[in-house]
Amino acid sequence: GQQLNQSPQSMFIQEGEDVSMNCTSSSIFNTWLWYKQDPGEGPVLLIALYKAGELTSNGRLTAQFGITRKDSFLNISASIPSDVGIYFCAGHLNNAGNMLTFGGGTRLMVKP
């Protein structure tokens, strides 16, 4: 069953607004990854986090690996229309080797 709870499921925002989404789990993760999927494409890696407490930025994107290793958030600042897509969190569960577990996705819509 689903081990990663991602929220919100969808967001409709105005261009220029900041966006925040998060993933939580009752299980401990060794890594957290954030992917973006454009329509008709495969997911593309945005940010990878490898250490509890790690805060990493990639342009307008910022993500953090929660101290408890059970959660992560992704922030997008000053959203633009091309930010539209589905954002997935993913992680490697402790003791699950290289298996990657995905959240259910957050569908982001940006109004120009």
Partner 1 sequence: GAGVSQSPSNKVTEKGKDVELRCDPISGHTALYWYRQSLGQGLEFLIYFQGNSAPDKSGLPSDRFSAERTGGSVSTLTIQRTQQEDSAVYLCASSTGDIGNTIYFGEGSWLTVV
Please give the residue ranges that form the binding site for partner 1 (CB under 8 A). Answer: 2, 6, 30-31, 33, 35, 40-45, 48, 50, 88, 90, 92, 97-105, 107
> Which pair of structure tokens corresponds to residue 112?
């120009």
Of 62 and 77, CB closest to partner 1: 62
Of 60 and 107, CB closest to partner 1: 107
> Where do the DSSP E strands lie in 1-112?
5-7, 10-14, 19-24, 29-37, 44-49, 55-58, 61-65, 71-76, 85-93, 100-102, 106-111
Of 77 and 101, CB closest to partner 1: 101
Residue 37 CB, shortest distance to partner 1, in Å, is: 8
Dist CA 70 CA 76 (whole Å) = 21
Question: Which candidate, 75, 17, 5, places its Cα nearest to that of 46?
Answer: 75
Residue 90 CB, shortest distance to partner 1, in Å, is: 8
Residue 74 CB, shortest distance to partner 1, in Å, is: 15
Residue 78 CB, shortest distance to partner 1, in Å, is: 26
